[in-house]
Structure 1
Amino acid sequence: MSSVSVIISTYNQPRWLTKALWGFEGQTFTNFDIVIADDGSTEETATVIQQFQQKNVLKIAHIWQEDDGFQKTKILNKAIKATEAEYLIFTDGDCIPRFDLVEKHLAMRKPNSFLSGGYFKLPEDISENISEEDIRTRKCFDAHWLVAQGLKKSFKLNKLTATGTKEQFLNWITPTKATWDGNNASGWREDIVAVNGFDERMQYGGEDRELGERLMNKGVRPIQARYSLVTMHLEHPQGYVTEEMLANNKQIRKTTKTTKSTWTPYGLQQTDA
């Protein structure tokens, strides 16, 4: 059994998931397993996963539930239950992990803390055009290469170029708060279980962050690492988002904050009460 599991959420994006898994095949640290939390994808996604399983490079478990709308929190809890590793890294199937992602998550982890990573958002044309070779040769993480593909220069390129002291300094001065963002976060399994995992009432809109807020209420410290832990986010439409989802989640998060809640009764363990 490996000491770390990577939980990847996905829903009907087999092409993006393929690119993400190519990224995990090229990690500098290799002793990890993957649990794919599949929120009801069709057979096309299952076929992609089976092809990677047959290559025998990655240790992959596929956890699937029937499509019932956006139910990411439910499938993530099922994925957590399917793991035995002491440390869990969470990301999404539309994010290509930089080659050092797993290694750096493990190097930066600390007791009673969780890591808040970052992502670099790519425009749709570059997302479409990134090839297997671009991922395996690590070109797609090179700022100069991306600019040559038409990417506009911006301060955010520092996420790809900063190392050492500069990387640590940018983590320190960033005005962005350290939060639990589902595309790139990690924590100790025992801490996540102690707050009862994800709140399954929540759909799209801050559903990941609410878990982090309960962790913080329990005294688990967030560590800002957005310039150290990097994924490449592939652009795509989000047709599943509704105002009702956003309003419902906002109210649940408000309650979590005002009551300083450390537990949800709608998580990993549930009662009939």
Structure 2
Amino acid sequence: MRISVAVITYNWPAALARVLRALAAQSELPHEVIVTDDGSQPATRELLERIAADYPVRLVHLWQPDDGARMSRARNRAIAAAQGDYVILLDGDMVAEPHFVADHRAFARRGCFVQGSRVLTDAALTRRLLEGVALPGFFGRGIERRRHTLRLPWLARWYARPGTKQRGIKSCNMAFWRDDLLRLNGFNEAMTGWGREDTELALRAFHAGLLRRELRFSALATHLYHPTRKHVVDNPNDRIVDETRTYRLLRCERGVEQHLGEFADPPPDLRALAAQPS
């Protein structure tokens, strides 16, 4: 089983650098890391070109023009470009614990998708993490949801019993079989702006017969602090979620299939580009 990690980013290269270093230090490396970029300035590309020179796995950069928050489109392009059988979705401000990829592999099961968790950090700790300090432990300062610092695989297996729980869906740490994502047509690109595209995808997955495995106490990741946009009033994406739930939709009209042609030939590995003479 080849694993692709799809990291979405937007104009925060310092956080992305920490995220990519964590993925490069995994106990089990993924097949590839795809950075899908929702319109960042050139500093992000420059960072990736520097990192690529000695990166241990295939490293891809997909960029789309900055036309507002188009997270669904960015993630769909990564899904279309992925060479892996299994796709881990990770935000560009989520720093993975060293067993993150191995744990996701251990909990992958046909007929299911996986919902991971995260530790929340405050601004002061985030500054220190970006300077290179180690990830916080259970007794660390500046964190919330500290239970998510604990890696307890035996307890994780108990939590991971398949079900259809709808609360707590978040694509910052989530994983699907790629062929399931293609069957669902990926994320709904009618949804732009902040949030709810992950909930809408999960609902369609449930309607298609997939079950959710709750991944706690494994596949740990630490979320770097930034101001939240969570409390959006009268979010139009909520109406799309309601329609999906009411009509038990399985596929979205505007999804990943429109990007498959673009990536019929795999996008280049930045390591190969870095090795070319200037």
Aligning the two structures, in what range does the TM-score lie when normalised by the shorter sequence?
0.7 to 0.9
Tell me which amino acid in the other structure corresponds to 1:262: L
Other-structure match for 1:157? 146
Deviations 1:47-100 (A, max 9, x none): 111111112323210000010010111111111111121110001001101111
Q: Distance between the aligned counterparts of 1:62 and 1:241, measured in 2?
A: 31
Query: In the alignment, what sits opposite 1:257?
Result: 245
Deviations 1:2-41 (A, max 9, x none): 7110000000011110111111111010142011110000
Q: Equivalent residue of 1:251, what SS?
A: helix
Going from structure 1 to structure 2, the CA distance change for 1:119 and 1:180 (only over 3 Å counts) comes to same
Report what 1:205 is aligned to. Answer: 195
Q: Which residue of 2 aligns with 1:25?
A: 24
Q: Write the distance in 1 (CA, Å) between the matches of 2:21 and 2:240.
A: 36
Identify which of 179, 183, 195 aligns with 2:184. 195
Asked whether the 8 Å contact 1:74–1:198 carries over to 2, the reply is yes
TM-score if structure 2 supplies the norm length? 0.84
Q: 1:230 aligns with which of 220, 223, 233?
A: 220
> 1:164/1:71 Cα in 2 relative to 1: closer, same or farther (>3 Å)?
closer
2:129 — aligned with what?
A: 130
Q: For residues 256 and 240 of structure 1, what CA distance do their matches in structure 2 show?
A: 21
RMSD, aligned α-carbons = 2.2
CA contact (8 A) 1:171 1:227 kept: no
Where does residue 140 of structure 1 map in the other structure?
135
* Kept after mapping to 1: 8 A contact 2:14/2:130: no
Shift of 1:179: 5.4
Q: CA deviation at 1:132?
A: 6.1
Higher helix content, 1 or 2: 1
Q: Which runs of 5+ in 2 are unaligned?
A: 259-278
Change (3 A) 1:118 1:16: same
Instruction: Give the AA of the match of 2:48.
Output: I
Residue 116 (1) aligns with residue 141 (2): no
The answer to whether the 8 A contact 1:91-1:184 is kept is yes
What is the percentage of aligned positions where both structures have the same residue?
25
2:28–2:102 Cα contact (<8 Å) kept: yes
Q: Distance in 1 between matches of 2:80 and 2:159?
A: 35
CA distance in structure 1 between the aligned counterparts of 2:25 and 2:214, rounded to whole angstroms: 25
Q: Distance in 2 between matches of 1:31 and 1:170?
A: 24
- Provide the C-alpha distance between the structure 2 equivalents of 1:49 and 1:84, rounded to a whole number of angstroms: 19
Q: 1:28 to 1:165 in 2, by over 3 A?
A: same
Q: In 1, are the aligned partners of 2:12 and 2:44 still within 8 Å (CA)?
A: yes
| Count of residues paired in the alignment | 254
Tell me, yes or no, if the aligned pair for 2:118 and 2:220 is still in contact at 8 Å: yes
The aligned amino acid for 2:210 is V
Q: Determine the C-alpha separation between the residues in 1 that align with 2:224 and 2:157.
A: 26
- Structure-2 residue corresponding to 1:217: 207
Q: Cα distance 1:127–1:189, how it changes in 2: closer, same or farther (>3 A)?
A: same
Q: Any idea what the Cα deviations from partners look like across 1:100-149, whole Å, max 9, x if unmatched?
A: 11101011110111000001111111011115653xxxx314223x23xx
> Match for residue 266 of structure 2?
none
The 8 Å contact of residues 119 and 232 in structure 1, kept in 2 or not, is answered as yes
- 3-state DSSP class of the match of 2:220? strand
In the aligned structure 1, how far is the partner of 2:197 from the partner of 2:105?
24
Q: Answer whether contact 1:63 1:78 (CA < 8 A) is retained.
A: yes
